[in-house]
Structure 1
Amino acid sequence: MPSTPERPQSRPLAPWAVSTTRGRLYPEPEDPTRSPWQRDRDRIIHSRAFRRLQYKTQVFVFHEGDHFRTRLTHSIEVAQIARSLARRMMLDEDLAEALALAHDVGHPPFGHAGEEALDTAMRPKGRFDHNAQSLKQVTLLERRYAAFDGLNLTWETLEGLAKHNGPVRRPGAYLVQYNALHDLELSTHASVEAQVAALADDIAYNNHDLEDGIRAGLFRLEEVAELSLPGRALARARAAHPDMPAGRAAPEMVRRVISEMVDDVAVESERRLAVLAPRSAQDVRMASQPVVAFSEGMTKDNADVRAFLRERMYRHFRVNRATQKSKRALQIVFQLLHGGPQMLPDEWRARAGDAGTPQAAETVCDYIAGMTDRFALEEYRRLTDPHVGG
């Protein structure tokens, strides 16, 4: 696939940054005013899957409060961190932003509870992985354009989505199928921009769960302060603002933690890049390890925060109750629709084929994965309550 000529940048890029695109699966004329990755970002923002992230949650069900993060607010926060890191590291900010905005479009309703429910339901027939589902969403399931299915994003954006967690050793069925059509070089690392987006996801996820957990009353600020990383940040915040109102302490702590983590990633990544001395984006892909990473000390601090959240938030009885109810609802919806695909909406029913088949299972899985929390609960009631109309 021919590369497009390099586009002028408003600032110089590092030699290992992505500066040219390998193009799109379906060739299109270049946009005269936007770079290929600005165009990708805009297509992602206008997609149905991106809009639905507003009503998909990470930990709390959508109706639990207006101030808890949703997948949409999380994606926007990841994009902000990714752009900041990309700018500091002289990378293409637009590619990093596009990847950050798209990274969760394959997530089902109810966060990880929904992912576990679909993975269990699909296990005899395959597996469910939200990263692969994100790729499927933007290459097949979006139906906005007359000339093709999906969003026809650039090779670089699709590569970053597919290799969200590094080289793909055991790709699922759809990824194998798509890769045969459009080789994403699954055995290599992704670009530096994609690695930046992945680390930005980690930075945003943990810190914002800390803030949401405090807001929800699952644990207290002083308990979080016993952890090394947030404890340092809270001490700095209180030293700078001795009379700080209590309600501002957690946000002040979180913003300082994010800044420290971003600084750590930038310094460690610069060190790794200096050792590797890549001369192109392809050199980064062929490296033996990622070039964007936390330092050893920050890796430990981050692991401590993860362990705290796992024990005090993700296993909290209130979260467990919501998780179990959500998983059970999705499992029942899957079972009913897999056994009775005639109950699917017309477009989906045509794809599903016969009841109980692998094709029906895949179709039902795609249908459920696209649901918001709210729609999933409504669908559960429509399918199980005789008093609710279809």
Structure 2
Amino acid sequence: MSQPDRAPYAERPDATRGRRFPEGASRTRTPFARDRDRIIHCTAFRRLKGKTQVFVAHEGDHYRTRLTHSLEVAQIARSLAHALRLDLDLAETVALAHDLGHPPFGHAGEDELQARMADWGGFDHNVQTFRVVTKLENRYPAFDGLNLSWETVEGVIKHNGPVAHRLDEPAWRAIAEYAEGWDLRLDTFASLEAQVAAIADDIAYNNHDVDDGVQAGLFTLDDLAEVPLIGPVLAQVRRDWPDIDARMTRLEAVRRMIGVMIDDVLAETARRIAEHKITSPEAVRAAPRTLVQFSDAMMADLSVLRTFLHQRMYRHYRVNRMRSQARRRLAEMFDLFLADPGVLPPEWAARAVADDPVRKARAVCDYIAGMTDGFAIEEHGRLFRLDLHRDL
């Protein structure tokens, strides 16, 4: 169970701050490995196979779902953690958990739930992930949620940095209330393992959006030739392999771009650790800035790449049409459920207490946020198409 050659600033499972509800130790797994297994076995994780980020799940089998994305993030996080001599299980666990709170239809779904919940406490996918692992998953008789270790919950909440400044936002009040009974040190950075998971997310989605965008025909490899980062990598692939086809060129370019980004992160992180004299997990939390980060040059290149993807992919008219349809479906379901909770499944109707409008809206939001793309489409049809009454 031990991990050899662990850096002094790595988290140690034998020094965990424990779980909110005390449990006996596992005979075969560290606390962080146990957290990972609980996430993999939970319902919200399985549903990620039917949730997408840019495309709707039924648009093709080749595009990433949030499940395949989470697996890619976990692989990159584990590789980075190994190179930095961090706890591999904790980095992988935070990576696997990071998207559990996303609603159906990707960013379109989140935008719509934010709009619908504006008067009822708001919606944020990071907070929803926290609610999934601490409340909504119902798998154990002794507690709600997954009862994850302190370090994993901290990483889920703070992988992008301190969050104390956000606690006045309505959507974040749930975290503020939870932290009153279990101090998560919301004003500090999270572990290096959590920071690794966060940057692995950036590496994964920038690369797979390039890959998926080309596959979807939203832009071509030639369109990428002048884009920083991917353009030079693509040119080198064509010099090294002049006779391979476009598909193999795309795959090789994406593979190499991942490697370039990983190498940049490792070099910049090592520089920051040395600069700030980081020698312990406590020093990581007390650091004045994120330690696991891209170099300034890489950040500049990524900014141009993201602008390209925003213009050519995220706002492509085909994607806009999908976003528009998705938002209308979620809006119509939300309004119906809020006005008539009796049409919700019984276990959700019981949560939508009629004399508590905030609780009712949150129950509606939780039900919709848990849907896969396909289920949301089917549920909308059952609610608004009379010819589907046989499926009620």
TM-score using structure 2 length: 0.96
Shift of 1:387: 2.2
Kept in 2: contact 1:109–1:372 (CA 8 A): yes
Shift of 1:86: 0.3
Kept in 2: contact 1:340–1:355 (CA 8 A): no
Q: Does 1:342 align with 2:338?
A: no
Residue number among 126, 129, 132 corresponding to 2:124 in the alignment: 129
Q: Deviations over 1:172-222 (max 9, x none)?
A: 121112112222111111110000000000000011001100000000111
Q: Deviations over 1:294-333 (max 9, x none)?
A: 0000000111111011000000000000001001100111
Shift of 1:136: 0.4
What CA distance in whole angstroms lies between the structure 1 residues aligned with 2:183 and 2:330?
34
Q: Does 1:81 align with 2:71?
A: no
What CA distance in whole angstroms lies between the structure 1 residues aligned with 2:338 and 2:356?
6
Shift of 1:355: 6.8
* Structure 2: gaps of 5 or more residues: none
Q: Does 1:111 align with 2:131?
A: no
What secondary structure is seen at the aligned counterpart in 2 of 1:387?
helix
What CA distance in whole angstroms lies between the structure 2 residues aligned with 1:313 and 1:355?
44
Kept in 2: contact 1:219–1:312 (CA 8 A): yes
Shift of 1:33: 1.2
Shift of 1:10: 3.0
What CA distance in whole angstroms lies between the structure 2 residues aligned with 1:164 and 1:273?
17
RMSD after superposition: 1.1
What CA distance in whole angstroms lies between the structure 2 residues aligned with 1:43 and 1:57?
22
Instruction: Tell me which residue corresponds to 1:5.
Output: none
What CA distance in whole angstroms lies between the structure 2 residues aligned with 1:55 and 1:355?
34
Residue number among 62, 65, 70 corresponding to 2:65 in the alignment: 70
Query: Alignment length, in residue pairs?
Result: 383
Q: Does 1:170 align with 2:166?
A: yes
Instruction: Tell me which residue corresponds to 1:13.
Output: 6
1:177-256 aligned within 5 A: 177-256=177-256
Shift of 1:239: 2.2
Task: State the 4+ residue runs in structure 1 displaced beyond 4 angstroms.
Answer: none
Kept in 1: contact 2:71–2:96 (CA 8 A): yes
Shift of 1:356: 7.6
What CA distance in whole angstroms lies between the structure 2 residues aligned with 1:11 and 1:229?
35
Kept in 2: contact 1:338–1:355 (CA 8 A): no
- The one-letter amino acid of 2:283's match is D
What CA distance in whole angstroms lies between the structure 2 residues aligned with 1:23 and 1:356?
35
Kept in 1: contact 2:3–2:87 (CA 8 A): no
Q: Does 1:374 align with 2:374?
A: yes
Kept in 1: contact 2:103–2:369 (CA 8 A): yes
1:325-364 aligned within 5 A: 325-354=325-354, 357-364=357-364
What CA distance in whole angstroms lies between the structure 1 residues aligned with 2:382 and 2:28?
47
What CA distance in whole angstroms lies between the structure 2 residues aligned with 1:186 and 1:53?
27
Residue number among 60, 77, 81 corresponding to 2:55 in the alignment: 60
TM-score using structure 1 length: 0.96
Instruction: Tell me which residue corresponds to 2:40.
Output: 45
- The one-letter amino acid of 2:141's match is A
* Structure 1: gaps of 5 or more residues: 1-7
Q: Does 1:34 align with 2:29?
A: yes
What CA distance in whole angstroms lies between the structure 1 residues aligned with 2:374 and 2:300?
37
1:281-360 aligned within 5 A: 281-354=281-354, 357-360=357-360
Instruction: Tell me which residue corresponds to 1:95.
Output: 90
Instruction: Tell me which residue corresponds to 1:257.
Output: 257
Residue number among 138, 141, 145 corresponding to 1:146 in the alignment: 141
Q: Deviations over 1:157-181 (max 9, x none)?
A: 1001111321111131211121122
Kept in 2: contact 1:49–1:370 (CA 8 A): yes
- The one-letter amino acid of 2:63's match is F
Kept in 2: contact 1:57–1:71 (CA 8 A): yes
| Identical-residue share of aligned pairs (%) | 55
Kept in 2: contact 1:131–1:164 (CA 8 A): no
What CA distance in whole angstroms lies between the structure 2 residues aligned with 1:101 and 1:28?
22
- The one-letter amino acid of 1:82's match is A
